[in-house]
Amino acid sequence: MVNELWQQEGIYALANFQPAGYLSDHSPCIVSLFQQGEGRGKHFKFFNMWMDHSDFQSVVSSSWNQPIHGTKQYNLCKTLQRLKENLKQLNYKLFTHISAHADKARHDLKAAQMELHDLPTNIELQSKVALLRKQAVGLYDAERSFYYQHAKCAYLSKNDKCTKFFHSLVKRNVKKNFIAAETNHACDPIDLNILREGPSLSPEQANSLIKDISPQEIKEALSNIGDEKSPGPDGYSSCFFKKAWETIEGDFVNAIIEFFDTGSLLRLAPILGSIIDNAQAAFVKERSLVENVHLTLEPLKQYNRKRVSPRCLLKIDLRKAYDSIY
């Protein structure tokens, strides 16, 4: 029982009556107060398995052809947001419980093949087996793509499909998807003299950072992003933009150009090699982490020889930048 003020404030309250059981005729009641009603739904995430379905392009086109008035970046964001609902419906109708559907398709195919084995000249059974095989292969590939994208293990070969190892990696990645700790370190001010003594850009390199961006440059940058890379904050992966490029090209390119016309993001990738010290052998074009391995092996060759001076090799573990928030 609550008073009128409680109802006016809209305070959350829920009473859940449990079954009485067999030892008593009294029903237990669980009362929850001051809690949120419905939990927030899961964030949208684009799955690459959707692209192989015959209805994918039509779903994208139907959402994209509806006009929206605003800036080019606003139009792109709102269209992508509207498309999410249609993709969710596609997933609900065809890809929900993908493993169960794949198992059922394999079972139906096996049963039809057994019937065809007894009646090999039956034309109707031959057509049925061909259709069931096509459905089973499609669901099998969709299941593999689903768990492959969840596990994100590029080193696995394509014949390791939907194994126990895949499922264990999915569970492991879910458990790791949180921030363990947050620290706040005071940073020393930057010494401008050190910056002046370091490498600097040439006039040509400086001009390349502020030149107008071209549609071809945008397309090349998109094509260089791997299909299995993690999606952006909106849930869409690079694979979606590649697959739907014919439909979204105009809006996508115009939004990027508008951003560069009004924003301040610079294109640093082409000139990073000239300003980053040669000691860093990774994450820079035309440099390889293997060089550090070769440098490490070179002094180790002499360690087991006699008549050498005492030597020591230290491995310094540098914490990854993306494991911390500053």
pLDDT of residue 241: 93
Q: Which residues contact 325 (CB under 8 A, 6 or more apart)?
A: 179, 182
pTM, to two decimals: 0.53
pLDDT of residue 154: 43
pLDDT of residue 196: 81
Placement of tokens 């071209």 in the chain: 214
Over the stretch 181-231, which tens digit does the pLDDT of each residue have?
A: 666 667 778 788 887 888 888 888 888 877 888 899 999 989 988 887 777
Calpha distance 111→188 (Å, rounded): 71
pLDDT of residue 155: 42
For each of the chain's 326 residues, which pLDDT tens digit applies? Answer: 566 666 556 666 777 777 766 556 666 777 776 655 454 556 788 888 888 888 899 999 988 888 888 888 888 989 999 999 899 888 888 787 778 888 888 889 899 888 888 888 888 888 998 998 888 888 888 787 777 776 654 444 444 555 666 666 666 666 666 666 666 667 778 788 887 888 888 888 888 877 888 899 999 989 988 887 777 788 898 889 999 999 999 999 999 888 888 765 556 667 777 777 777 777 777 788 787 778 778 777 777 777 777 777 766 655 544 444 33
Calpha distance 34→14 (Å, rounded): 9
Cβ atoms within 10 Å, residue 125? 17
pLDDT of residue 170: 66
Calpha distance 81→249 (Å, rounded): 17
What's the Cα-to-Cα distance from 325 to each of 43, 178, 184, 185, 190, rounded to whole Å? 22, 13, 8, 10, 19
Over the stretch 50-85, which tens digit does the pLDDT of each residue have?
A: 888 888 999 999 888 888 888 888 889 899 999 998
pLDDT of residue 316: 61
